[in-house]
Chain A
Amino acid sequence: MGMQLQCKDVSLGYDGKTVLQGLNFMISAGDYLCILGENGSGKSTLMKALLGLHPPVRGEIQFCGDVSQKEIGYLPQQTIVQRDFPASVQEIVLSGCLSRMGFRPFYTKQERELAGEMMKKLGIPDLGKRCYRELSGGQQQRVLLARALCSAQKMLLLDEPVTGLDAKATHEMYELIAELNREDAITILMISHDIQASVKYASHILHIGGRQLFYGEKSKYLESKVGQAFLAMGGTSS
């Protein structure tokens, strides 16, 4: 498996304050990496750094192989603006194609077909004309996931993809992501604080809290002190 991304001794911070330091990890094609950490542990800062929106204070984030920084499909958390936004599903999914549009002011036929394909893949082929704000939470996440897949098909960065979903929709979302990882060999980077699901689905775990607490395969994480402590905590709180 080819390496796609490598972090070498990366420190991240704002205005001279370091939020997260000592990051050393690498991601290979087809990995399913869960980034765990409590609130304020630096998860969202790391995410911004991976997307290239926030340069590291020290060290470097290297993309190699067939993936560049702009080829990460991103599933952000929903914003308040989106909850009552008048937009059709098709308009939203198509906007994933914007990155390759340059200054061309319209979408091509291929891009429309790609959007249709991705909607089919995610089980929402008939929603194109529907209004985004009238969909269920699970359907909305699928729409945003289809948009992410339109922008990139090798690596997905998911920011707490099950926030606000009920138990059934959460399960379906996790299964869908696992399927994309398994069958389309899409590398998954998922930010999460759902330890149970992370342990169930991920191949690798990165646990952060101001610094890198653990990075490695899931089986090793389960044996590690950090992992057992966090698992015990997650078990009681949820």
Chain B
Amino acid sequence: MNLWDTLVYYFQFPFVQYAMIVGLLIALCSSLLGVTLVLKRFSFIGDGLSHVAFGAMAVSSSLNAVIQIENDMMIVLPVTVLAAVLLLRTSQNAKIKGDALIAMISVGALAIGYLLMNLFSDSPNISGDVCGTLFGATSILTLTSAEVWLCVIMAVIVIAVFLLFYHKIFAVTFDENFASATGINANAYNLLIAVITALIIVLAMNLVGSLLISALIIFPSLSAMRLFRSFRSVILCSAVISVICAGMGIILSILCSTPVGSTIVAADLVVFLVCSGLSRILSEKFRS
């Protein structure tokens, strides 16, 4: 069988199709928001939140041993959104050192999560579960159709919100002071951004696992910023890069049987290096 036949063979299975749909949607959403997060210096909030999401996932699966929970999302989603709101509040408050708090929350959530998983999980392979949650090893391939729909709906919401408030998000990102002086409620938009970030992180946990989510948010926008000079073109480019990398990553991981999450992130990293090199060459040409 050549490569093409192998791909066609795999794409006959619904779980591979699901993985592709969900993967591309998550990549699209995370890249849209990534530009704003990177420019607002909020990347660290994404990182902190992903660890909180891991902790929440552990709590949920431990609770699952006691009481039956239909869907982990029921716990993970509200907890992560709540953490997003709290982190944003404290990072605005100059009296509390925001970065130290975030570091504390993220390692705290990791530790508690692992502890709970070890204490209460009835699964025979705990380290496999932990590894899966952290690096997203298999969960993307075991999605049910309900989870796919949930993901599609959330992605539509994220994209719709982003398109509707695009100009306001730009204004709040570029200059919060000016935006609030002209009567835009900058705090409300920061909150909106934080909540959407939490949504995306929870979704992306399935794809790349909680440790690698930040890469999905940061890399495409950093790559796009190397090459483009207006906000709109940076966002468009970062969306394209992110979707292509996710698609390539998923296909490669099928062909070479590598873990999905780390393959996607590796693809993002390669594109980032290429973009950095290109921008250096272009700027030298520009000068001479």
Contact = CB atoms under 8 A, between A and B. Distances in A.
A51 B41 CA distance: 25
A98 B230 contact: no
A96 B167 CA distance: 10
A157 B181 CA distance: 10
Given A96-B182, A98-B179, A131 B41 contact: no
A95 B166 contact: no
B228 interface: yes
Contacts of A101: 167
B195 to A, nearest CB: 18
Contact of A134 (B163, B168, B229): B229
Given A76-B175, A85-B39, A131-B230, A91 B170 contact: yes
Contacts of A107: 167
Contacts of B170: 87, 91, 95
A220 B234 CA distance: 53
A151 B182 contact: yes
Given A53-B180, A95-B167, A98-B182, A82 B175 contact: yes
A99 B234 CA distance: 24
Contacts, number: 87
Interface of B: 39-41, 163-168, 170-171, 173-175, 177-184, 225, 228-232, 234
6 contacts: A87-B230, A92-B174, A95-B178, A105-B163, A131-B230, A133-B229
Contacts of A225: none
A53 B181 contact: yes
B168 A86 contact: no
A88 interface: yes
A107 B40 CA distance: 24
- 10 smallest CB-CB distances across A and B, nearest first, come from A131-B229, A88-B230, A99-B182, A74-B181, A76-B177, A95-B171, A51-B181, A87-B231, A70-B183, A86-B234
Given A85-B39, A86-B229, A98-B168, A76 B174 contact: no
Interface string A72-110: 101010010110011110011011101101010111000
A130 B286 CA distance: 14
Nearest to A133: B229
Contact of B40 (A81, A86, A105, A133): A81
A86 B230 contact: yes
Given A86-B231, A87-B170, A95-B170, A74 B178 contact: yes
A204 interface: no
A147 interface: yes
A70 B182 contact: yes
A31 to B, nearest CB: 20
B231 A88 contact: yes
A95 B181 contact: no
Contact of A76 (B39, B164, B181): B181
Residue of B41, B167, B225, B232 with highest tally of chain A CB at under 10 A: B167
Interface string A147-182: 110010000010000000000000000000000000
A230 to B, nearest CB: 27
B174 A85 contact: yes
Nearest to B40: A81
Contacts of B178: 74, 76, 95, 144, 147-148
A166 B287 CA distance: 23
Contacts of B231: 85-88, 91
Contacts of A52: 181
A132 B166 CA distance: 19
B39 A99 contact: no
Contacts of B181: 51-53, 72, 74, 76, 157
Contacts of B183: 70, 99
Contacts of B166: 105
Contacts of B182: 70, 74, 96, 98-99, 151
Contacts of B232: 88, 91
B164 to A, nearest CB: 5
Contacts of B171: 95, 98
Given A76-B178, A87-B231, A98 B184 contact: yes
A92 B167 CA distance: 10
B253 to A, nearest CB: 31
B167 A86 contact: no
A106 B178 CA distance: 19
A81 B208 CA distance: 29
A111 B163 CA distance: 19
Contacts of A94: 167
Contacts of A148: 178
Given A91-B230, A95-B170, A105-B165, A81 B39 contact: yes
A131 B283 CA distance: 14
Nearest to A90: B230
A89 to B, nearest CB: 9
Interface string A119-133: 000000000011101
